[in-house]
Structure 1
Amino acid sequence: MNAAPVDVDLALVGGGGAASLVLAALDRYGVSGLRIAVVDPVHKRGQDRTWAFWDRPGNDLDPMLSARWSRVEVVTPAGRRVLALAPLRYAMLRSDAVYARAAEAERRLGATRIGAAAGALDDDGQRVLVRGTDGRPLVRADWVLDSRPRPPERPGRTNWLQHFRGWWVETDEPTFDPERAVLMDFRTPQPARGVSFGYVLPVSDRYALVEYTEFSPWLLTDDAYDLALRRYVGLAGLDPAALRIREVENGVIPMTDAPFVARPSPRVVRLGTAGGATRPSTGFTFSAMRRQADQVARALAAGRPPVPRPAYPRRHRWMDAVALRALDRGRVDGPEFFNRLFARNPADRVLRFLDGATSPAEDLAVMRSSPLLPMMGAVIGDTVDRLRGRLRRDAALVPLRRSGSRTDPR
């Protein structure tokens, strides 16, 4: 006989970064009396990823940061640009600190941990039954926050990936400047269709993350990533013989204008990449994921439904779709595009734009800094593709309407 499902107010399905930030935020806002369950077959601990992001100093993340920088460099074949970020900073956060903080919050909140993989979420509009992958009832909750990776609702017009490999390297002698990070170094060989760059994030003068990243439609082989990293180590002026590789990091993040459904049913809310937190034009996710967690916690503390706002303004999603199209179709050169962005705008404006925090007037300034004629061509092409897609979807609905079938209004 199947055991009765655990009865809770809030279920977190998936226990990675997004759920960890929610737990920490609930604890920070003093949410009490809430019955919480975390459903995940793996209890995340230790180091499995690194987040780099920008924010303002003096917040709850300060004690957990591995490093922070007030200046960063953007490097192109034409030269090196040093950007002063004040009042913002660029920061590094490693996952072991986030998971440890979440474990502390989980204990303080009295959350129930269910070590099983979640399958279907049956939402009847009043409560949600979380089933295991074998169909067994696991949890019944008033609300479910689902941070499991999910595909978009339908394919995008442009579908790229941010994919990367990084080496945590150590040296015997002082080698790095811990006060300055290399944000983007475009001297790497550029792919035929895409953008590549390296970067260096020093934690101390003898320890740093050195990484190679591509924005492109296809992944590389393991050997190709390692070759690209070795080449970048040389471009960065580092002696490969003096570096000891302590850790290796890999990652793949979607960069697409495809729509992600943030609320697939009345009482299920998706967070993280599945909830639209990944910025299509850059692959950055952490800042939006943190905003989602903060908004969820504030809502629950006030007795409101835990439904965060859209991760980015609609106009920013449109601008990202146009930028992705221009890069994908070769209308603009990737390194030149990013170089102009930083050359013609204050650094803090660019960073706030990439976080979705700029005003419409600032967005216009950002748009003016891009190559106008190629971008106008991308705007026209994106508009035509949107109209064609809408006409195809409308045409597909005609037989259903004639037969009297109802479509899902969501």
Structure 2
Amino acid sequence: MWQRGAVTERAPLDVDLALLGGGGAASLLLAALARHGVRDLRIAVVDPVRRRGQDRTWAFWGHPDNDLDPLLSASWQQVEVATPTRRRVLDLAPLRYAMLRSGPVYDAAAAAERRLGVTRIVAPAETVTDDGTRVLVRAGDGRSIRAGWVLDSRPRPPARPGRTTWLQHFRGWWLEADRPVFDRRRAVLMDFRAPQPTRGVSFGYVLPVSDRYALVEYTEFSPDLLTDAGYDTALAGYRDLLGLDPTGLRVREVENGVIPMTDAPFTARPSPRVVRLGTAGGATRPSTGFTFSAMYRQADQVARALAAGRPPVPDAAYPRRHRWMDAVALRALDRGGVGGPEFFDRLFDRNPAERVLRFLDGATTPAEEIAIMSSTRLVPMIAATAGDAAHRVRDRLRPARPAPPIPAAVVGAASGAHLEAEPDAVGPGSATPPG
């Protein structure tokens, strides 16, 4: 310590790596550091909350037998996609759809913290100053951290406003039934039989843990949020559409989430030694809100880099061409050129399910993407492509405007399997961003 006038200040804590935010992205990273045998790194976590228990659910697809398998609540080789005219069962082989609740992830992160000797500061990070050699972080409790690298997963607005900005927002009920009512063999990935909003897309989904216990959720892709009563009414309607008798059901838990769907750019590397992860680092897929798989890849890439003595900088979450296709798809949906149920129905009808899921994860080849694009309605997609190109030209000719702040609902409400607020949220395939 030293004296400056009448104020006593502590010397900064020197670390090699500081994690700002302690939600899903940071928890996955801590577990990955332990998994990849990272040693002899001084690490600090700066977050005002100690995350524990079941505060969110992630759902995602991937290959079986990876390091997440011991943590899963359930997984399915088959999923169902339903429209008002038909119900289709899809075989995902060689992939599977899986559910991961937050409790085991937080437990794995806590074990990794102890193994790695992490210093935890239970306070918000208030300022971050990068001089190109070290980063000074000042925390809300008056302490300072001087770090070689900062990995920041706190919610952040995009670098500029998007040409199209929607939200993925949802509410889910964990339902316990008096008798067997759920099909444990398969999940409902997207059920478009729910009433569609005037502007946007809505669907339900069902993730069964057993024949008596499942997460039943209502999701919208649209510009505006619903009221609490609106979500509950929509969920009750979807429950009734499934033929579930409410007198034989109990709501054990409720999950809510809000995730940004926008073609606005998120700055993944705001300064030389600060790297953003999760939604702030571009992990949320603009056209769907899916987040978890990209967030997991970021954690794995950072851990591998640190284990090899390289800078902890992950690859871009999605290829540039995918971000362009997302912008076009969002524009087509927003301007009414294509309907959401029809758009997704055609994708799954005219492509192998495994190809569609890899496309949503940004893992397809250009040849596969041409096949996927040709399965959509070409005229409205061409119109959306032309409109997007014209909008990009206008953006270059006028001064850049600052992006609006992220709505409080996005920063604080995401909780599970969809997108993260990093957002961390619940939903079909993100599954969820904060932290």
Normalised by the size of structure 2, how large is the TM-score? Answer: 0.90
On the 8 A contact 2:322/2:362 being kept in 1, the answer is yes
Question: Does residue 1:107 correspond to 2:106, yes or no?
Answer: no
Structure 2's unaligned 5+ residue stretches are 1-7, 403-435
SS of the aligned residue for 2:232 comes to helix
Partner residue of 2:320? 314
SS of the aligned residue for 2:179 comes to coil
Give the counterpart of 1:247 among 230, 253, 267: 253
Measure the CA separation in 2 of the matches of 1:274 and 1:395.
Answer: 19
Question: Which amino acid in the other structure matches residue 90 of structure 2?
Answer: L
Question: Does residue 1:217 correspond to 2:216, yes or no?
Answer: no
Give the counterpart of 2:47 among 37, 40, 48: 40
Structure 1's unaligned 5+ residue stretches are 397-410
1:305 positional shift = 0.2
Give the counterpart of 1:229 among 223, 230, 235: 235
> Following superposition of structure 1 onto structure 2, how do residues 17-32 of structure 1 map, counting pairs within 5 Å?
17-32=24-39
In the TM superposition, structure 1's runs of 4+ consecutive aligned residues that sit over 4 Å from their partners are none
Question: Does residue 1:191 correspond to 2:191, yes or no?
Answer: no
List per-residue Cα deviations over 1:205-257 (Å, max 9, x = no partner): 00000000000000000000000000000111211221100000000000000
Give the counterpart of 2:153 among 136, 147, 153: 147
1:395 positional shift = 12
Measure the CA separation in 1 of the matches of 2:73 and 2:323.
Answer: 31
SS of the aligned residue for 2:55 comes to coil
Partner residue of 2:357? 351
Question: Does residue 1:120 correspond to 2:130, yes or no?
Answer: no
Measure the CA separation in 2 of the matches of 1:150 and 1:361.
Answer: 34
1:393 positional shift = 3.1
Partner residue of 2:383? 377
Measure the CA separation in 2 of the matches of 1:374 and 1:205.
Answer: 42
Partner residue of 1:57? 64
Question: Which amino acid in the other structure matches residue 12 of structure 2?
Answer: P
Partner residue of 1:82? 89
On the 8 A contact 2:80/2:187 being kept in 1, the answer is yes
Question: Which amino acid in the other structure matches residue 158 of structure 2?
Answer: P
Question: Does residue 1:16 correspond to 2:19, yes or no?
Answer: no
Measure the CA separation in 2 of the matches of 1:164 and 1:16.
Answer: 19
Percent identical pairs in the alignment equals 76
Partner residue of 1:360? 366
Coordinate RMSD, CA, aligned: 1.2
1:336 positional shift = 0.4
On the 8 A contact 1:20/1:102 being kept in 2, the answer is yes
Question: Does residue 1:95 correspond to 2:107, yes or no?
Answer: no
Question: Which amino acid in the other structure matches residue 214 of structure 1?
Answer: E
Larger mean Cα displacement after TM superposition, 212-221 or 38-47: 38-47
CA distance 1:117–1:395, change in 2 (3 Å): closer
SS of the aligned residue for 1:237 comes to coil
Measure the CA separation in 1 of the matches of 2:297 and 2:176.
Answer: 34
SS of the aligned residue for 2:30 comes to helix
SS of the aligned residue for 1:265 comes to coil
CA distance 1:395–1:97, change in 2 (3 Å): closer
Question: Does residue 1:200 correspond to 2:183, yes or no?
Answer: no
Question: Which amino acid in the other structure matches residue 327 of structure 1?
Answer: L
Question: Which amino acid in the other structure matches residue 239 of structure 1?
Answer: D
Give the counterpart of 2:270 among 264, 269, 277: 264
1:202 positional shift = 0.2
Question: Which amino acid in the other structure matches residue 168 of structure 1?
Answer: W
List per-residue Cα deviations over 1:279-303 (Å, max 9, x = no partner): 0011010000000000000100010
List per-residue Cα deviations over 1:345-368 (Å, max 9, x = no partner): 000000000001001111111100
Measure the CA separation in 2 of the matches of 1:255 and 1:217.
Answer: 9
Measure the CA separation in 2 of the matches of 1:152 and 1:239.
Answer: 44
Measure the CA separation in 2 of the matches of 1:168 and 1:75.
Answer: 21
1:2 positional shift = 1.6
Number of equivalent positions: 395
On the 8 A contact 1:129/1:137 being kept in 2, the answer is no
Give the counterpart of 1:295 among 295, 301, 306: 301
Give the counterpart of 2:174 among 143, 168, 173: 168
On the 8 A contact 2:78/2:186 being kept in 1, the answer is yes
List per-residue Cα deviations over 1:115-136 (Å, max 9, x = no partner): 11101110000000011247x4
On the 8 A contact 2:160/2:401 being kept in 1, the answer is no
1:77 positional shift = 0.4
SS of the aligned residue for 1:142 comes to strand
1:138 positional shift = 2.0
Measure the CA separation in 1 of the matches of 2:184 and 2:113.
Answer: 34
Q: Which has the higher contact order (CA 8 A, sep 6+)?
A: 2
Measure the CA separation in 2 of the matches of 1:236 and 1:313.
Answer: 38
